[in-house]
């Protein structure tokens, strides 16, 4: 008899997608009601996605499934530990990929290198309970209702879009960082169509206004080793 609670690659894909969107909504609301500021918390330049939540949420469910955690206490402890580990590792991975930091918890007590903190580790514990007990069953039912052929086509289309979105995001952030931090601007080669397209994208699409609005919390270390917001380095 097939295990209805089994976590497949299809389930993990939809966990990632849905948690990326829900994470963005929750963090945007948290920022607005906590600080009175409505700003973008996106991780990709296109679409309503915050992939950190997608990766951690999907990874957390997979680990909890493998560990067969069912009780509230076990779920909380496992979520606290593995959610924190995942967030810490992702912080380094994103910094390595993008060359900048997306978040820093040094303003909060009991933080570790500003990458994780006690408050958000507790949130991960609570989130583990919510995900396994209520959210996962709902998503599983919805995913299982989609016909396999249709599901495969939809998943492939979304996957291709996300890969392109991620690559364009890396390109955009590197362009933004080079222009604002290092004062490097790409100049097109006359007669080269690809060079002209690149120049048009970097100078007319990845503008300082668009990038600072889409990614307002990007940070980089200055010459003194202190972290500063890239947007504060933009010259009028």
Per-residue pLDDT of 166-211, as tens digits, reads 999 999 999 999 999 989 999 999 889 999 999 999 999 999 999 9
Whether the pLDDT of residue 1 is over 50: the answer is: no
If you count them, how many residues does the chain have? Answer: 236
Q: Which of 40-44, 52-56, 157-161 has the highest mean pLDDT?
A: 157-161
Nearest 5°: the CA angle 111, 76, 41 is 50
**Residue 59 near residue 87, CB atoms below 8 Å:** no
Whether the pLDDT of residue 100 is over 90: the answer is: no
Between CA 230 and CA 224 the distance in angstroms is 15
The whole-number average pLDDT for the span 135-153 is 93
Whether the pLDDT of residue 231 is over 70: the answer is: yes
The whole-number average pLDDT for the span 19-25 is 93
Between CA 120 and CA 108 the distance in angstroms is 10
Whether the pLDDT of residue 222 is over 80: the answer is: no
Looking at residue 236, what is its pLDDT?
65
Comparing C-alpha atoms, which of 17, 21, 173, 42 is closest to residue 97?
A: 173
Looking at residue 3, what is its pLDDT?
54
Whether the pLDDT of residue 30 is over 70: the answer is: yes
First to last CA, the chain: 66
Confidence of residue 104 (pLDDT cuts 50, 70, 90): confident
Whether the pLDDT of residue 154 is over 90: the answer is: yes
- Kindly report the pTM of this predicted structure: 0.87
Looking at residue 5, what is its pLDDT?
67
Looking at residue 141, what is its pLDDT?
93
Looking at residue 2, what is its pLDDT?
45
The more confident residue out of 235 and 136 is 136
Whether the pLDDT of residue 4 is over 70: the answer is: no
Backbone angles phi, psi at 93, to 5 degrees: -60, -45
Nearest 5°: the CA angle 67, 68, 74 is 80
The more confident residue out of 80 and 1 is 80
DSSP letter (8 states) at residue 127: H
> Which two tokens mark 82?
């593995």
Between CA 140 and CA 129 the distance in angstroms is 16
Whether the pLDDT of residue 157 is over 90: the answer is: yes
The more confident residue out of 101 and 73 is 73
* SS3 of the chain: helix, strand, coil, percent, to 5: 65, 5, 30
């Amino acid at each position: 008899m097939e295990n209805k609670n089994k976590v497949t690659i299809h389930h993990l894909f939809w966990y990632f997608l849905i948690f990326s969107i829900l994470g963005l909504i929750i963090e945007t609301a948290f920022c607005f009601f906590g600080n009175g500021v409505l700003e973008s918390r996106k991780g990709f330049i296109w679409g309503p996605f915050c992939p950190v939540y997608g990766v951690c949420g999907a990874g957390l469910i997979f680990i909890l499934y493998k560990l067969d955690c069912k009780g509230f206490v076990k779920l909380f402890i496992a979520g606290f530990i593995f959610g924190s580990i995942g967030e810490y590792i992702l912080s380094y991975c994103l910094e390595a990929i993008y060359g900048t930091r997306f978040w820093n918890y040094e303003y909060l007590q009991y933080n570790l290198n500003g990458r994780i903190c006690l408050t958000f580790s507790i949130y991960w514990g609570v989130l583990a309970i919510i995900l396994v007990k209520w959210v996962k069953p709902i998503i599983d039912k919805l995913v299982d209702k989609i016909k396999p052929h249709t599901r495969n086509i939809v998943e492939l289309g979304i996957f291709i879009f996300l890969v392109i979105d991620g690559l364009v995001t890396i390109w955009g952030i590197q362009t933004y960082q080079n222009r604002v931090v290092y004062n490097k601007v790409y100049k097109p080669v006359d007669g080269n169509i690809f060079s002209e397209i690149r120049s048009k994208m970097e100078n007319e699409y990845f503008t300082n206004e668009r990038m600072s609005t889409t990614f307002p919390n990007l940070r980089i270390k200055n010459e003194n080793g202190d972290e500063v917001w890239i947007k504060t380095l933009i010259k009028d």
